[in-house]
């Protein structure tokens, strides 16, 4: 008798950075997950996940439908999905079904409530059910890069080689990306382009301040470059696939993790601000040879892809009692 396929739900509050990490782990496990986006009503959402009674009935109307058949595995991230996920597991248990619960990142909640937690090693969280990562879970795979490379081949061909992909983050809880830093980074990129003859393929994020992007682009006048500012399909995966090397701003663990997964040399551009955890993350990335600081010049070295989701997926399969 053939085992039924594992039913996996990815639960998030809809924030892209959180959801991508859940999807990355699910896909590394070989699963095709159902995405459930949830958010509680006020005032109960302010107390999640500590208020559990009626968790499924206190969700906003914009939340995804939550109803049986219950999944075999829930991969969640963020605070909002915790209470609904725990309630689902309770309801499923009453029907004789076990639901395994994996939380991405520190839940700031009793870790014993989860089968597994996948958390950065530089976080203080510790426990027998915690799997530690250097970077973050992501969706960068050889197949996805190959497909993006085919889609964006013409855009890459319009720029000279070597081709430098520039991945811009922005202002965050601990980093700042003011216009002055944008102007400085733009001048550094322009000088590199003039000295090496490289092309620049730039993509901004939703967190990149418009005035900062404008300040960065001003010094690039007359240099071969393309920039994505939000119109049409984001060439992000195309850049990862087709660039010869990558310059990434230091504010995003996700972007750095995705860049090193592409198997390209990665140069990290500093931004004002930061934290002890970010400093420890970037220091270890440098120590392992995955990245180097961006010093305004083109640097190239052999770089193998760093496929951390596959490593974590193998550990999850060993730890969870599912029919893999």
Fill in the DSSP letter of residue 207: T
* Residue 54 buriedness (CB in 10 A; 0-12 / 13-18 / 19+): exposed
Measured CA to CA, the distance from residue 101 to residue 112 in angstroms comes to 11
Average pLDDT, integer, range 225-250: 95
Whether the CA torsion 129, 135, 136, 141 is positive or negative: it is: negative
Measured CA to CA, the distance from residue 28 to residue 297 in angstroms comes to 35
Q: Do 151 and 158 meet the contact criterion of CB atoms below 8 Å apart?
A: no
The pTM (predicted TM-score) of the whole model is 0.91
Mean pLDDT of the chain: 93
CA nearest 215: which of 183, 172, 257? 183
CA nearest 266: which of 241, 286, 238? 286
pLDDT at 1 over 90: no
| Strand intervals (E) in 24-153 | 34-37, 73-77, 100-104, 116-120, 130-133
Q: Who's near 182: CB < 8 A, 6+ residues apart?
A: 209, 211, 212, 213, 214, 215, 216
pLDDT at 48: 56
Average pLDDT, integer, range 117-131: 93
- pLDDT tens for residues 59-100? 778 889 999 999 999 999 998 899 889 999 999 999 999 999
Superfamily of domain 142-293: Glycogen Phosphorylase B; (3.40.50.2000)
Class at the top of the CATH hierarchy for domain 8-133: alpha beta
Q: What is the CA radius of gyration of the chain?
A: 21
Instruction: Tell me the two tokens of residue 322.
Output: 């599912």
At 11, is the secondary structure helix, strand, or coil? Answer: strand
- Delimit the CATH 3.40.50.2000 region(s) of the chain: 142-293
Give the CA count within 13 Å in the CB-facing half-sphere of 128.
3
Number of helical H runs and strand E runs in the chain: 10, 12
- pLDDT tens for residues 130-172? 999 999 999 999 999 999 999 999 999 999 999 999 999 999 9
Give the CA count within 13 Å in the CB-facing half-sphere of 171.
11
Q: Who's near 149: CB < 8 A, 6+ residues apart?
A: 238, 241, 242
Conformation bin of residue 222: beta by default, left when phi > 0, alpha when psi is -120 to 50: left
Measured CA to CA, the distance from residue 162 to residue 283 in angstroms comes to 27
Instruction: Tell me the two tokens of residue 311.
Output: 């490593």
Owner of token pair 């996948």: 118
CB atoms within 10 A of CB 244: 16
Length of the chain: 324
pLDDT interval class at 49 (50, 70, 90): low
pLDDT interval class at 45 (50, 70, 90): low
Owner of token pair 């490289």: 198
pLDDT interval class at 53 (50, 70, 90): very low
């Amino acid at each position: 008798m053939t085992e039924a396929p594992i039913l996996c739900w990815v639960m998030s509050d809809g924030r892209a950075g959180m959801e991508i990490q859940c999807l990355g782990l699910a896909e590394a496990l070989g699963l095709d997950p159902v995405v459930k986006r949830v958010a509680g009503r006020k005032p109960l959402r302010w107390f999640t996940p500590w208020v559990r009674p009626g968790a499924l009935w206190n969700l906003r109307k914009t939340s995804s439908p939550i109803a049986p058949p219950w999944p075999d595995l829930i991969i969640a991230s963020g605070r909002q999905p915790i209470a609904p996920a725990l309630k689902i597991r309770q309801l499923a248990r009453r029907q004789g079904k076990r639901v395994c619960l994996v939380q991405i990142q520190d839940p700031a909640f009793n870790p014993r409530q989860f089968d597994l937690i996948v958390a950065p090693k530089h976080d203080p969280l510790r426990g027998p059910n915690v799997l530690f990562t250097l970077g973050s879970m992501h969706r960068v795979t050889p197949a996805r890069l190959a497909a993006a490379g085919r889609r964006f081949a013409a855009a890459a061909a319009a720029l000279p080689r070597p081709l430098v992909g520039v991945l811009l983050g922005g202002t965050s809880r601990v980093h700042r990306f003011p216009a002055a830093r944008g102007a400085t980074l733009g001048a550094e990129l322009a000088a590199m382009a003039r000295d090496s003859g490289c092309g620049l393929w730039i993509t901004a994020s939703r967190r990149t301040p418009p005035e900062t992007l404008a300040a960065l682009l001003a010094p690039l006048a007359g240099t071969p470059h393309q920039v994505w500012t939000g119109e049409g399909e984001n060439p992000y995966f195309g850049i990862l696939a087709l660039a010869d090397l990558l310059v990434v701003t230091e504010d995003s663990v996700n972007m750095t993790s995705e860049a090193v997964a592409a198997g390209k040399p990665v140069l990290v551009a500093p931004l004002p601000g930061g934290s002890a955890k970010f400093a420890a993350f970037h220091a270890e990335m440098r120590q392992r040879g995955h990245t180097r600081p961006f010093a305004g010049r083109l640097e190239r070295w052999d770089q193998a892809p760093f496929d951390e989701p596959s490593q974590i997926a193998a550990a999850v399969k060993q730890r969870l009692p599912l029919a893999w």
